[in-house]
Structure 1
Amino acid sequence: MKYAKIISSGMYVPQKVMSNAEFEKLTNFTIDPNFAETIGIDHRHVSEDWETPTYMAAEAAKNALKRIGMSPEEIDLIIVGTDTPESVSPPDAPRVQYLIGAHKAEPLAFNVNASCANGALMLDIAARYIALGDYKNVLVIGTYAMTKFLSWKYSWEALFSDGAGALILTASDEPGFIGSVSRADGSWWQNWGIYMGAGTMNLAGFERGLHKLDLRAAYPATINEEGWPMLINKLMEKYSLSKDDIGMIFFTQVRKKTILKVMETLGLPSEKAHLVMHKYGYTGSACVYMAYDDAFDEGKIEELKGKVVIFLTSGVGFQQVATAFRM
């Protein structure tokens, strides 16, 4: 049996930046003065038309490959996670395979969609493929182009930003991947999403605005505040981990105040939650990989040798996934 180890990371961020003041001018909404402090966002990165989900994913993947001098042809499996795909069908992953030059080796490439819970879920899937001995090197990419689905007329749209993050995992004789825990509750399915699909892909659907992100009902503020500590505790119990084992937690970068509250609830120092929403805004499926890559660039990953890193993600629908790795 092999273990999956994280050996590289990369990201891509659009160059176009929209400040809170520019957002207010565009939408005619005044952003709450506490927004930057509570949510942690004072600007957002907005992709141009040519910066498609597959383009951003491919650029993040190229950066991850370049970091370790790995050839695209060494990749055995590509998994792309997004809820802002380039098309309903075909999936983004084969296009990314081609864009990075991996198509000659013909690695399997497919999409997953657990909305913004994709980051931790893809790591779990990749690690299990590696454990079974099917693949040696797996590339996982989260890509997010939600600004392309915004109406630019609601205050809550100030949250969203675009970008992509990638991690490369490889087979190892030592952990590596420890395991994961998760939960889901479909009773929240109608609250928030892009609801155009089979049966609504018509003029009436467009006239109803179903091709745009729709906030129909807010999730309770406690859904992550209570759910995340529950999953961390479940993860520690399942795999006999202690709080001292935890070196870093990469949370879905959706609300700064919630992350800090969760760390307080867990009795862990806030420094063990690397935050990047102040740099990149909220980038959904990409955000935990972007946070990891940012932490690597700051030299923090090197300090985690022997420690446990946890990726903890939440997505509308809803689902939450926590995945642990020994560094």
Structure 2
Amino acid sequence: MKYAKIISSGMYVPQRIMTNAEFEKLTMFTIDPYFSETIGINHRHVSEDWETPTYMAAEAAKKALERIGMKPEEIDLVIVGTDTPESISPPDAARVQYLIGAHKAEAMAFNVNASCANGALLVDIAARYIALGDYRNVLVIGTYAMTKFLSWKYSWEALFSDGAGALILTASDEPGYIGSVARADGSWWQNWGIYMGAGTMNLQGFERGLHKLDLRAAYPATVNEEGWPLLINKLLDKYNLTKDDIGMILFTQVRKKTIEKVMETLGLPLEKTHMVMHKYGYTGSACVYMAYDDAFDEGKIEKIKGKVLIFLTSGVGFQQVATAFRII
């Protein structure tokens, strides 16, 4: 049996920045100091028309490959996670495979959509494929272009930013990948999303604005404040780990105060997490990979070798996934 380990990361961030002050001027809503202090976001990155989801994903992937000098032909599988796809069909992953040059080796490619829970789910899927011996090198990419689906007339739209993050996993004789736990509750399906699809792809659907992101009912803070510690404790119990084993937890970068409260609930210091919403805004499917890449560049990943890193992600629908790796 093979294990999986993380060997590289990369990200792409659009150059165009919209500050909170600029957002307030555009929408006529006052969002500060709440957004800066509570959410942790003081600006967002907005993709241009040419910065499509597949373009951003491919650029993040290229940086991950360049970091370790790996050729795209060495990639066996490309998995793209997004709920802002470039098209409903064909999947973004096939185009990303082509854009990075992995088509020369006919690497398998497919999309996953667990909304913003994609980050932890993709690495779990990749690690399981590697364990089965089906693939050796797997590229996972979260890409997010939610600003393209905004109306720019609601205060809550200040949350969203665009970008992509990528990780490369490879087969290893030692773990590496430990395992995962997850939960979902579809009774929240109607709360928040982009509801254009089969059955609504008509004039009435456009008139109702179903092609835009729609916040119909906010999720209570308890979804993550209670759900995240629940999953962490479940993960520790399942794999006979202790809190002392934890080197870092990378959460969905959706709310600074929630992350702080969860770390307090767990009895862990803030040094055992890493936040990037003040740098990149909220980037959904991409955010935990971008946080990993940023932490790596700051030397934090090197410092937790031998310890456990946990990806813990949440997405509308809702889904929550926690996946653990030992850093080797």
Provide, for residues 190-220 of structure 1, a one-character-per-residue CA deviation record: whole Å limited to 9, x for no partner.
0000000001111111111000000000111
Q: Does 1:234 align with 2:234?
A: yes
The answer as to whether partners of 2:11 and 2:166 remain within 8 angstroms in 1 is: yes
Q: Which amino acid in the other structure matches residue 78 of structure 2?
A: I
- The aligned residue for residue 179 of structure 2 is 179
- The aligned residue for residue 315 of structure 1 is 315
- The aligned residue for residue 269 of structure 1 is 269
Task: Give the secondary-structure state (helix, strand or coil) at the position aligned to 1:37.
Answer: helix
- The aligned residue for residue 11 of structure 2 is 11
- The aligned residue for residue 285 of structure 2 is 285
Q: Which amino acid in the other structure matches residue 270 of structure 1?
A: L
**Paired residues for 1:242-253 under 5 Å:** 242-253=242-253
**Paired residues for 1:115-194 under 5 Å:** 115-194=115-194
Residue 314 of structure 1 deviates from its aligned partner by: 0.0
Q: Which amino acid in the other structure matches residue 255 of structure 1?
A: R
- The aligned residue for residue 20 of structure 1 is 20
Q: CA RMSD in A?
A: 0.5
Q: Distance in 2 between matches of 1:7 and 1:262?
A: 28
Provide, for residues 29-86 of structure 1, a one-character-per-residue CA deviation record: whole Å limited to 9, x for no partner.
1114222110000000000000000000000000000000000000000000000000
Provide, for residues 149-168 of structure 1, a one-character-per-residue CA deviation record: whole Å limited to 9, x for no partner.
00000000000000000000
Unaligned runs of 5+ in 1: none
Provide, for residues 221-272 of structure 1, a one-character-per-residue CA deviation record: whole Å limited to 9, x for no partner.
1100000000000000000001110000000000000000000000000111
Task: Give the secondary-structure state (helix, strand or coil) at the position aligned to 2:226.
Answer: helix
Q: Distance in 1 between matches of 2:68 and 2:77?
A: 17
Unaligned runs of 5+ in 2: none
- The aligned residue for residue 35 of structure 2 is 35
Percent identical = 89
TM-score (norm 1): 1.00
Count of aligned pairs between the two proteins = 327
Residue 28 of structure 1 deviates from its aligned partner by: 1.2
Task: Give the secondary-structure state (helix, strand or coil) at the position aligned to 1:285.
Answer: helix
Residue 109 of structure 1 deviates from its aligned partner by: 0.1
Residue 133 of structure 1 deviates from its aligned partner by: 0.3
Q: Distance in 1 between matches of 2:201 and 2:28?
A: 30
Q: Distance in 1 between matches of 2:245 and 2:221?
A: 29
Task: Give the secondary-structure state (helix, strand or coil) at the position aligned to 1:195.
Answer: coil
- The aligned residue for residue 256 of structure 1 is 256
Q: Distance in 2 between matches of 1:201 and 1:86?
A: 16
Q: Distance in 2 between matches of 1:321 and 1:142?
A: 15
Task: Give the secondary-structure state (helix, strand or coil) at the position aligned to 2:49.
Answer: coil
TM-score (norm 2): 0.99
Q: Distance in 1 between matches of 2:33 and 2:62?
A: 38
The answer as to whether partners of 2:20 and 2:32 remain within 8 angstroms in 1 is: no
Q: Distance in 2 between matches of 1:71 and 1:257?
A: 41
Q: Which amino acid in the other structure matches residue 160 of structure 1?
A: F
Provide, for residues 118-168 of structure 1, a one-character-per-residue CA deviation record: whole Å limited to 9, x for no partner.
000001100000000000000000000000000000000000000000000
Q: Does 1:225 align with 2:225?
A: yes
Q: Distance in 1 between matches of 2:106 and 2:36?
A: 45
